Structure 1
């Protein structure tokens, strides 16, 4: 397939042979479009971020509290501080992605996550050494608190931040017309994998201990994942002599106006659009609530009157609904008559429904509505979060724009557990926090009606 020289994000030849697009495998020589291989490993990249996601950290919570002598509130605050610190560097991380390309960015980020996990497995010993520092030892819990906050900062930056950002941004560079299909399949795999993470990590901890669990994960990332991503990941099709989607379609069809890119936006230009913040704030609210719900899951279950097993098992049907809705959302984005802003509106309505269930509902009677709301909202998140940025703002500055988006998401996820903990401490329950979140979700659903694709305005103007 002919090389498309006009693409703005085509990279020059790499200085070192080990990073050359045709080494050690040549994508253009595959008997089928290499984007399908790329999609598999980019999806694997998102799955590799699990140890740095809240769903992967939560099972370590009680173990860390025990060995470091921290209370639940102290652990929540250290998690918030660490996540805040990680968000400060995600903008630079996005620019790093644009500068070095997706292949290097993903390999380096996965390796960094592996080393962070290795360090986190010794956080108890590191905190003992930190206790000898006069500045941090005037409270018995402070050395462990500081070490854990710094560890969380590195864990969140590498895992939830860079590994996720790089994997999703790479995927967005290889597909255009088929982007909805790819995102649907990728999102289904990620949702299923993430739903199994807490139980899998818990079993691993029981077998080898919390330290051994992090060490096993570190070994897998450093010895297996980094090698796989170096071999198979490529930044974009143009550097490999290929075209997006594998070339021209043999079956012409009417394009969705929301899929037509007329020019590339810079990060400051994107940040000045209403659409960017309408989508970003909706995703941020979802991240805030889901992180808080996951972090305080057992306490919330007790408050709404269900057992630990019952509240944990709601993740399974929720993941199923998320997979189905994610596939549906991703598929309809490729239809010529669909406006993506209406899909964002659906996300807001389903989110308001889910949060309202926890805030006002009676369990277990309302559990089916809980599963439906959280599932559809999660499906919209996975289905839209990769599609919108290359369609709305082009591919040239995709890393920087995604970095700003991820920074906002990470900040929201940082404050989520803390805000919900504050609601419980000062207002006596978590329900009020869910009620407030439901009102915000409804308001953002209304705002979504004005979140038009900025590319449309270029044509209309």
Structure 2
């Protein structure tokens, strides 16, 4: 089944998932960052104070997310989406009223919890459970919701801020959730449908509980491969000025290279979905870090500004494959019955990686850029080697009791 046939056969389910990915943007860093300069000015905050508050809110949301993972597995979709939508509206309301740091932190927590965490958890879990044979393609389609949001919502938000102020931008976002997200999700799900406990085609697959996954040593051997991308990409993006300075590139050029990153991410999403359906998420996940390793090797030997563009394209390919396989992998290895609980747990590990990444990468780039690149390359090669042998030699259809 190709992408067009998939869209024609399952338009409601795919749109439902894509809506959650799109509206997760309200709690994503790329959209929140648009308001940051105005928040700092209005509340007389330093960048350091905001960064610390944002880190606290993000880590708190990550450790809270596993508490709702089991509920996501059991609850019906109408209730999930309604609670998620109301949570986003509450988050926007708190941001609108935040006139001091003590109100800003709860607002950021609610944005990260219901937006970046909850919306992605609901959309990805529902899609992964509804689709089995076409899971890769389905996840790539719904993931376009976030790609579209990344492309357009920052420009729309800055327009609203310039005309009406940053506080009113949060009222506008709350209104969009109330008038578009909540009604559409209820129309797309015409009955009180729950996320399937087991995909029909996957009834013979052993379903692990979250506790059994945590007792499985193979999970910890694969965890570095899952955590490396958020660790590295967060660190290198925050400190791209250090990389640019070491290579003699302007920040304007680095910003332009994000165009290549975005295009590569979208195009690879379609290719990656087909690869997952044909070869399995396990096989694609094993080598998904290879493009960024090639990009880092290129940076090691080249200072020309075109090397930055090629590196960002390769990084975009890895980011797309990582986002896609990061959901499908756990469904293949541990079943879908408790996927929400498992994925909420792995999200916690991911967010911890994003908190550590800027510290480690920043320290490395301030010391020696080439040494940092070499360590990253060899780390990736070691991760690929370990993942290959773990997946090749292990039988994941046996529970650890």
Q: Which residue of 2 aligns with 1:452?
A: 391
1:177-192 alignment to 2 at 5 Å? Answer: 177-192=133-148
Q: 1:391 aligns with which of 332, 355, 361?
A: 332
2: CA distance between counterparts of 1:315 and 1:283?
23
Q: Which residue of 1 aligns with 2:382?
A: 443
2: CA distance between counterparts of 1:270 and 1:184?
25
Q: CA deviation at 1:418?
A: 4.8
Q: CA RMSD in A?
A: 3.1
Q: Which residue of 1 aligns with 2:188?
A: 232
1:247-326 alignment to 2 at 5 Å? Answer: 261-296=204-239, 301=244, 304-326=247-269
Structure 1 residues 57 and 394: alpha-carbon distance in aligned structure 2, compared to 1, 3 A threshold: same
Structure 1 residues 191 and 273: alpha-carbon distance in aligned structure 2, compared to 1, 3 A threshold: farther
Structure 1 residues 370 and 236: alpha-carbon distance in aligned structure 2, compared to 1, 3 A threshold: same
Structure 1 residues 61 and 308: alpha-carbon distance in aligned structure 2, compared to 1, 3 A threshold: farther
Q: Which residue of 1 aligns with 2:4?
A: none
Structure 1 residues 87 and 383: alpha-carbon distance in aligned structure 2, compared to 1, 3 A threshold: closer
State whether residues 113 and 159 of structure 1, in contact with CA within 8 Å, keep that contact through their aligned partners in structure 2.
yes
* SS of match in other structure, 2:277: coil
1: CA distance between counterparts of 2:55 and 2:272?
32
1: CA distance between counterparts of 2:54 and 2:300?
25
State whether residues 76 and 417 of structure 1, in contact with CA within 8 Å, keep that contact through their aligned partners in structure 2.
no
- Give the number of the structure whose alpha-carbon radius of gyration is greater: 1
State whether residues 341 and 451 of structure 1, in contact with CA within 8 Å, keep that contact through their aligned partners in structure 2.
no
Q: Which residue of 1 aligns with 2:178?
A: 222
Structure 1 residues 198 and 49: alpha-carbon distance in aligned structure 2, compared to 1, 3 A threshold: same
TM-score by length of 1: 0.74
Q: For 1:250-306, what per-residue CA distance to the aligned partner results, in whole angstroms no more than 9, with x for missing partners?
A: xxxxxxxxx785221111112233553455433322123333344455665456433
| Aligned: 1:101 with 2:39 | no
Q: Which residue of 1 aligns with 2:58?
A: 83
Q: CA deviation at 1:355?
A: 4.8
State whether residues 317 and 371 of structure 1, in contact with CA within 8 Å, keep that contact through their aligned partners in structure 2.
yes
State whether residues 75 and 195 of structure 2, in contact with CA within 8 Å, keep that contact through their aligned partners in structure 1.
no
2: CA distance between counterparts of 1:190 and 1:153?
20
Q: 1:74 aligns with which of 27, 40, 49?
A: 49
* SS of match in other structure, 1:51: helix
Identify unmatched segments of 5+ residues in structure 1.
1-31, 128-143, 249-258
1:133-212 alignment to 2 at 5 Å? Answer: 144=101, 146-212=102-168
Q: CA deviation at 1:169?
A: 0.3
Identify unmatched segments of 5+ residues in structure 2.
1-7
* SS of match in other structure, 2:337: coil
Q: Which residue of 2 aligns with 1:47?
A: 22
2: CA distance between counterparts of 1:149 and 1:115?
13
State whether residues 282 and 444 of structure 1, in contact with CA within 8 Å, keep that contact through their aligned partners in structure 2.
yes
Structure having the larger proportion of residues in helix = 2
Structure 1 residues 237 and 60: alpha-carbon distance in aligned structure 2, compared to 1, 3 A threshold: closer
* SS of match in other structure, 1:334: helix
2: CA distance between counterparts of 1:121 and 1:434?
42
2: CA distance between counterparts of 1:365 and 1:316?
13
Moved more, 51-60 or 98-107: 98-107
Moved more, 400-409 or 207-216: 207-216
State whether residues 292 and 417 of structure 1, in contact with CA within 8 Å, keep that contact through their aligned partners in structure 2.
yes
Q: CA deviation at 1:193?
A: 3.3
Moved more, 371-380 or 60-69: 60-69
1: CA distance between counterparts of 2:287 and 2:119?
28
| Aligned: 1:411 with 2:386 | no
Q: CA deviation at 1:79?
A: 1.5
Structure 1 residues 295 and 354: alpha-carbon distance in aligned structure 2, compared to 1, 3 A threshold: same
Aligned residues: 389
Structure 1 residues 199 and 419: alpha-carbon distance in aligned structure 2, compared to 1, 3 A threshold: farther
1:354-433 alignment to 2 at 5 Å? Answer: 354-355=295-296, 361-420=302-361, 427=366
Q: CA deviation at 1:104?
A: 1.7
State whether residues 81 and 414 of structure 1, in contact with CA within 8 Å, keep that contact through their aligned partners in structure 2.
no
Q: For 1:187-214, what per-residue CA distance to the aligned partner results, in whole angstroms no more than 9, with x for missing partners?
A: 3443343244444433333233222222
